[in-house]
Amino acid sequence: MSNLLATVLVATGLVATGLAVPAAEPALSIPAPTGPHHVGATVLDLTDTSRADPWVPTDPARELMVTVFYPTGVDHGATLPYQSAAESAAFITGRHATAHFALDAFSTVPTHAHLDAAPAGRPHSLPLVVLSPGYTAQRSSLTSLAEDLASHGYVVAAIDHTYETYGIEFPDGRIAGCATCAIDDGDETAFFQRLFRVHAADVSFVLDSLTGPHPAWPGAHLIDATRIGMSGHSAGGAAALTTMLADPRVGAGIDMDGTTYDSVPATGLSRPFLFLGTESEHSPGQDTTWDHDFGALTGWRRWLTVTGTIHLSFSDYQAFTDEIGLDGGATITATRAIEITRRYTRAMFDQSLRHIPQPLLNASTGYPEVTVVAR
């Protein structure tokens, strides 16, 4: 698994150089959503009392921060903070990126989601998509994708997996650091397979919280609980396979550039699944775990690669490194990479959850960077 901003910083020789942050920094931003709806967002603090925290067992319950994005008719008022100042500082420090980003840099990124705006839609009419970030990343790293899906009529739940990144702030000001960072230096396969199981349990709990008899979000009546998908970046994408194997409610999944560590058993997985990755790292033969797990899929499946992308391209982070002038090796812009990620993600879920045929998934019309390498 590539380590997000560290991938770029290592590649460019710019980790922990001790250079001062420039006095005038470029403003960081993400592209506006493309759909017909305005976007609302609300932040939930959810506690699963049925289990102790898997990474810090002295915590008697698993507490998760979740941002729910959704369509709204509201186009004014306060917008969702991208991160809190404390989360930004913890992440930038943890990734040894202080030479290139002010500590509060990610807390100043403007979003397009109106905080706690009234949801819009008919009861039980909107599909739900769960987003899971990469290892050591925060849920905010998938904000541009979440906003775009919501603008096209999806409810989206982006999950922070507690103790798997450098700083998650709870409403009372507590900060959860990266407890897993002290235990991920042994058997890589065993560690990530365990991580995927934790993500699967987290997702199932969030689904219970949003679609159960006592939902944690007042707008939950909009959700059609028969139409649920999951996507994620890196470890979060790989965990979509584990989640679908464990929870039949998840009807379709996407792995964006995440090594899967042979997650699919010989019995296979019959629900629709999309692999979307870099040409350099995830073409056939480049990642043997994709070779294995794609071969084990027994339902509708596609394997797509995107020429010119790097690992960060499927999250918001390439946008930020582009904006400050770091060259991590991508030969397409972050704006183009985000457009491709959004378009193919929506095509996958429109076809799988809304049953609208998507020729784009069979031929990369309009996107010559995308290759359908297997089906």
The better pLDDT of the pair 185, 87 is held by 87
Q: Which secondary-structure segment (H or E) carries 43?
A: strand 38-48
Mean pLDDT of the chain: 93
**pLDDT value, residue 10:** 41
136 φψ region: left (φ > 0), alpha (ψ -120 to 50), beta (else): left
Q: Is the pLDDT of residue 146 over 60?
A: yes
**pLDDT value, residue 185:** 65
The better pLDDT of the pair 271, 182 is held by 271
Average pLDDT over residues 18-41: 78
Average pLDDT over residues 4-16: 39
Domain with residue 193: its CATH number is 3.40.50.1820
Q: Is the pLDDT of residue 134 over 90?
A: yes
The better pLDDT of the pair 187, 250 is held by 250
Q: What pLDDT band is residue 294 in, cutting at 50, 70 and 90?
A: very high
Q: Is the pLDDT of residue 184 over 80?
A: no
Average pLDDT over residues 198-212: 98
Domain with 366 in it: 5-374
Task: Please name the residue that has the structure tokens 């235990």.
Answer: 183
Q: What percent of the chain has pLDDT over 90?
A: 90
Q: Is the pLDDT of residue 26 over 90?
A: no
Contacts of 84 (CB under 8 A, 6+ apart): 107, 169
Per residue in 87-133, pLDDT (tens digit) is 999 999 999 999 999 999 999 999 999 999 999 999 999 999 999 99
Per residue in 302-339, pLDDT (tens digit) is 999 999 999 999 999 999 999 999 998 999 999 999 99
Q: Is the pLDDT of residue 231 over 90?
A: yes
Joined together, the tokens standing for residue 371 give 């290759």
Domain count, the chain: 1
Alpha carbons within 13 A on the beta-carbon side of 12:
20
**pLDDT value, residue 21:** 42
Joined together, the tokens standing for residue 196 give 């995927």
Query: What per-residue string of b and e applies to 147-183 under the rule 16 or more CB within 10 Å gives b?
Result: bbbbbbbbbbbbbbbbbbbbbbbeeeeeebbbebeee
- Report yes or no: 307 and 281 within 8 Å, Cβ to Cβ: no
**pLDDT value, residue 25:** 63
Neighbours of 49 (CB within 10 A): 9
**pLDDT value, residue 136:** 96
Average pLDDT over residues 24-47: 93
Average pLDDT over residues 178-187: 85
Residue (of 274, 224, 228) closest to 248 by Cα position: 228
Q: Is the pLDDT of residue 16 over 60?
A: no
Least confident of 3-7, 37-41, 146-150: 3-7
Distances (CA, A) of 323 to 30, 55, 93, 101: 10, 35, 19, 11
Q: What percent of the chain has pLDDT over 70?
A: 93
Burial (CB count <10 Å: 0-12, 13-18, 19+), residue 41: buried
189 φψ region: left (φ > 0), alpha (ψ -120 to 50), beta (else): alpha
**pLDDT value, residue 183:** 86
Q: What pLDDT band is residue 14 in, cutting at 50, 70 and 90?
A: very low
Distances (CA, A) of 202 to 175, 199, 250, 287, 365: 19, 5, 13, 26, 36
